[in-house]
Structure 1
Amino acid sequence: MPLPYQKTDTLSLNDSIFSPIHMQHQSHIHQLPVELFQQILLLIVNDVSNCPSIFKLINTRISGNFSSPPLVFTRVCRLWRIIAHSTTGLWSRIHVALSGGDEPLKPFLPCLLQCWLARSGSRPLTLHINRIRPGHAKCTGLLGHTSLSQADSQLLEILQTESRRWETVVGVFRGNEWPSSKLDTPQLRALECGSSMLEKFNTSNLRRLFISIGITTSPFPTCKKLQHLYLQYASSTIIRSLSVTFPLLETIAVQHVAGGHEGTSSHLVTYPCLESLTLPLPLDLDKNPHWPTAIFDGLNLPVLRKLTLVGHPTKLGVDRIVAALEVTATCNLQVIDFRTFKPKDEVDVEVVEPLLSVAREISVCSAVLRCRASRD
């Protein structure tokens, strides 16, 4: 359980290399209203998209990250420390790196994590959990084949005590590596994990899901409120079957479509709420003769507004897209957007113009192309 504030104050100036500021006259920042000072600290912490890191790792050695916000705020002076400790929003987002080291943790480190969580009060938590592969200095969300060390498990146990407050969780773990067989996460809204981990969470209120490892069967039908789904790998069959599992999907994004040689399906599939679909363009269309028919054949997309295709458009690819969409029930497709690393001016307008027969606009990285033709 989180440590009471009055018993242990790990987030303090003890052993700090910084000295408290003693000035005869207060600096201008110290004359600000507390509420405004808190907002400044929050802007500093939230200025980057990544969660603030609690630990600093050198190889597999772990220490407190007191050189970066928000921990660094506690080492400026007594006033900063008091305000930082009382600003729960500073501590509601956390990045925890698991070192994978065999050595037991120093007592200070679990205590630091407990105090960080305690400082967040009752706020919903955003967790980014990454594991470092033994022998590698790079921090990654992907697991190695070794089991979690005792030190890593100890940190996960501390995080798990606050699972009822988890709102966003990013981290890839095998199901049998968590201390508990089932995680109580009633507030969970966004999750990134492998498909085998889904059953570990209470996903009844999940809205956003990123499955970072391929799935061969439909995900668990416990996420009925899911609206946004991101898949690293998925087959055409999986993409088509998601409408049954997740009837309220508004966004689907797939990084890699596996099983390109599947035959087409003739049964009707409806996505009643799908507004945005993102798919990769195959590098070799000759080796993917059923793309994209295997996905779009019999697909009913009544409210689809945007189709994003990741890759450079070619004439063969465009011809196949037009053929597939012409037999797909899409009433209001507004734009087909190509996400390519090549400059916009390298996209041949004449190649993509036929797409205006099935969409109102064609764009490259959200920049609309000027085409001679226009959709009726």
Structure 2
Amino acid sequence: MAFNLHTSYTTRYSIRRSSPEVKAQRESRLSWDQIVSALQNHEHLLGRAICQGKDILRCLIRKRPFCPIDTSNALVWLNTPANLLPPSRPVIHGLPPEILGRIFAFIVHSDCLDKRYQYREEVWVNFVSSGTSPTTPVVLGHVCRAWRTFVHNTPFLWATIFVHSPLPRHVDIVSFWLARTADCPLDLRFEQFLFPDPASLAIIELFIVQAHRWRKIAFIINLEEPFDKLRPGSTPLLEEFRIRLPKWDRARVARVIDTLHASPVLHTINWGKSIAGQIPPSTPWRQLRELSLHNLELSETLLAAFPQCSNLLTLRLYGMRNGLAGQNTCVAIPSVERLVCDQPYMHIFNAFTLPSLVDLKLGGLQRRIGAFETPEAQIAPLISMIERSACTVQALEVEAWALPILYHDTLSHLTILHAADILSSYPSNFRLEDLISETGGRHSLLPALQHLFLDRYEGRDGVLATVAWSRRRTLRTLHVGVDAEQHPRDVITLGWLRKDGMTVEVGEPLSRSRMISFARPQTDAEDVSMSTLRFPDFDTIWT
């Protein structure tokens, strides 16, 4: 970044040197030679500041593509002395309260965050927050008096509370937050791992008192006694729950689950590992829109319940064992649009017909070939399910073991592909080169692809660039985790595609690790800190 600030100044000054007033002012001004010299000595810092400013401007334009920044008067404003600029009220202070509340909710609530935030490595210590967001209503209230007044009088900003391994001082914080929620429905998440734990006991009792306002809850907890106060009808507003009660008495677990099932508006259930392999008889099958099953037997009894799920849209299956004893049982669920499965087990795909399926996620942290001899044989039951269902899969998230499915004609309508691993050290019979367009812009593989996400890519440098460039007319989004030093050609080409309008994000490769926890004793005997190092998938804590 080479330029001469001194030359620029002297040229501009020479235009005005005929004015006596300017000559008088020159004597009272600072020495520009020293300023220019200092800037030249710190040229790399100035260059970094300018680049960061450009990134901020690009972000603003991307966030508001239909409201571009008006730069028609930019030159006039830049040449107007600062003391002559008319005072103006910040635009955000003139927004209607409804819009300002939406903006603040976007900032503090976890479900409004960019998904990339959930894939960053983070150290979670003892805290109370609004979810996974680092910003809370308290932080917003510290900006200025107007924001503090607005935040303290907007209950729904406080109604999402995430408590992780609380300390004694957090009891008053949670009590303060609950007092600010007024009568708003509550979204609560509580994770407690230590026992005995007086702070967690006090906070859970505060939550139990507000059970009539629960809308969404996610509890990992060892404390049982406070929940004895719940009765069927205690949670009339409950729409969604995720629980993990690993050390509870079975009778108590059954009572709590029956209480939660009694909600007339319940539509999302995740029992975690709390039901010990037995499906609760009180399950409201007809109400369900989302169901997650963990470590259960895929038996005839369970399959017989699925036809009652006339409104089920999302089905998640984790660690499902085969309980069909070789019987060829297949059940159709016409309403399911999304299937999440963490293991490539034949009995899962053979058991379902899903005619409305459009979104498929296939996990599995390891390559579990089992009795299959080849990757093609491994995915054969999955292909059979898609063909039998006559469905149109438009979004696919896979790990390396299932990548060969991309060559099958059943995915010709795929528009979104999220591949977790394309590694040179992990053979999967899939080559990224096969996505390169043929002559004339035709695509021999995945012709409808518009959005490509690669969490980790370690192929040969230049291949990704060739694929993206050949599809530049149809590919709208490309997010890739790649080592920039090992792929300079790819990074440069993706930069040009970003300038041409494609949404391109290049980041560090994501770790395959999930979670590491450790306890840290504090100086105070009662202050025991539980720290958790977390990685991409929050849902693994429920498996």
TM range (shorter): 0.5 to 0.7
Give the TM-score of the pair, scaled to structure 2.
0.47
Identity %: 18
Counterparts of 2:128 and 2:343, CA distance in 1: 44
Q: Secondary structure at the match of 2:266?
A: coil
Counterparts of 2:199 and 2:342, CA distance in 1: 40
Q: Which has the higher helix share?
A: 2
8 Å Cα contact 1:307-1:337 kept in structure 2: yes
8 Å Cα contact 1:233-1:256 kept in structure 2: yes
Counterparts of 1:269 and 1:175, CA distance in 2: 39
Counterparts of 1:31 and 1:280, CA distance in 2: 48
Q: Report the equivalent of 2:392.
A: 334
Counterparts of 1:355 and 1:257, CA distance in 2: 28
8 Å Cα contact 2:338-2:358 kept in structure 1: yes
Please state how far the C-alpha of 1:209 moved relative to its aligned partner.
1.9
Q: Secondary structure at the match of 1:199?
A: helix
Q: Report the equivalent of 1:248.
A: 311
Output aligned runs, 1:316-327, within 5 Å: 316-323=377-384
Matched to 1:292, the amino acid is M
* 2:245 corresponds to 1:199: no
* 2:149 corresponds to 1:82: yes
* 2:235 corresponds to 1:185: yes
* 2:271 corresponds to 1:211: yes
Please state how far the C-alpha of 1:47 moved relative to its aligned partner.
6.7
Q: Report the equivalent of 2:283.
A: 222
Counterparts of 1:58 and 1:257, CA distance in 2: 30
Match of 1:236 among 298, 304, 317: 298
* 2:326 corresponds to 1:264: yes
Matched to 1:213, the amino acid is K
8 Å Cα contact 1:229-1:252 kept in structure 2: yes
Q: Report the equivalent of 2:219.
A: 171
Matched to 1:249, the amino acid is L
Q: Report the equivalent of 2:346.
A: 292
Please state how far the C-alpha of 1:249 moved relative to its aligned partner.
1.7
- C-alpha change, 1:339 and 1:306, in structure 2 (3 Å) is closer
Please state how far the C-alpha of 1:255 moved relative to its aligned partner.
2.8
| 1:44-86 Cα deviation digits (max 9, x unpaired) | 3237658xxxxxx9977x7999x95211234445433222111
Counterparts of 2:179 and 2:361, CA distance in 1: 43
8 Å Cα contact 1:172-1:212 kept in structure 2: no
Aligned pair count? 304
Q: Secondary structure at the match of 2:295?
A: strand
Match of 2:182 among 96, 113, 121: 121
Q: Secondary structure at the match of 1:264?
A: coil
Please state how far the C-alpha of 1:122 moved relative to its aligned partner.
1.8
Output aligned runs, 1:51-200, within 5 Å: 68-99=135-166, 105=168, 109-131=170-192, 133-134=193-194, 146=195, 148-173=196-221, 176-182=224-230, 184-194=234-244, 196=253, 197-200=256-259
- C-alpha change, 1:81 and 1:181, in structure 2 (3 Å) is same
8 Å Cα contact 2:357-2:393 kept in structure 1: no
Counterparts of 2:214 and 2:377, CA distance in 1: 46
Matched to 2:417, the amino acid is C
Match of 2:363 among 293, 310, 326: 310
Matched to 2:341, the amino acid is L
Q: Report the equivalent of 1:141.
A: none
Counterparts of 1:271 and 1:209, CA distance in 2: 17
Q: Secondary structure at the match of 1:365?
A: strand
- C-alpha change, 1:38 and 1:235, in structure 2 (3 Å) is same
Counterparts of 1:226 and 1:301, CA distance in 2: 16
- C-alpha change, 1:78 and 1:212, in structure 2 (3 Å) is same
Please state how far the C-alpha of 1:188 moved relative to its aligned partner.
0.9
Gaps of 5+ in 2: 1-86, 114-122, 246-252, 368-373, 420-433, 436-442, 448-543
- C-alpha change, 1:278 and 1:110, in structure 2 (3 Å) is closer
8 Å Cα contact 2:185-2:213 kept in structure 1: yes
8 Å Cα contact 2:129-2:161 kept in structure 1: no
Counterparts of 2:95 and 2:382, CA distance in 1: 59
Q: Report the equivalent of 1:287.
A: none
Matched to 1:309, the amino acid is L
Give the TM-score of the pair, scaled to structure 1.
0.64
| 1:196-255 Cα deviation digits (max 9, x unpaired) | 452242343211222322751223433230111123433322762441564432211113
Q: What is the RMSD computed on CA atoms of the aligned residues?
A: 4.2
Counterparts of 2:137 and 2:446, CA distance in 1: 55
Counterparts of 2:230 and 2:185, CA distance in 1: 19
Q: Secondary structure at the match of 2:280?
A: coil
8 Å Cα contact 2:358-2:395 kept in structure 1: no
Counterparts of 1:361 and 1:59, CA distance in 2: 44
Matched to 1:211, the amino acid is W
Q: Secondary structure at the match of 2:319?
A: strand
Please state how far the C-alpha of 1:156 moved relative to its aligned partner.
0.8
8 Å Cα contact 2:238-2:265 kept in structure 1: yes
Which structure: larger Rg?
Answer: 2
- C-alpha change, 1:266 and 1:154, in structure 2 (3 Å) is same
- C-alpha change, 1:316 and 1:87, in structure 2 (3 Å) is same
- C-alpha change, 1:230 and 1:243, in structure 2 (3 Å) is same
Counterparts of 2:210 and 2:163, CA distance in 1: 14
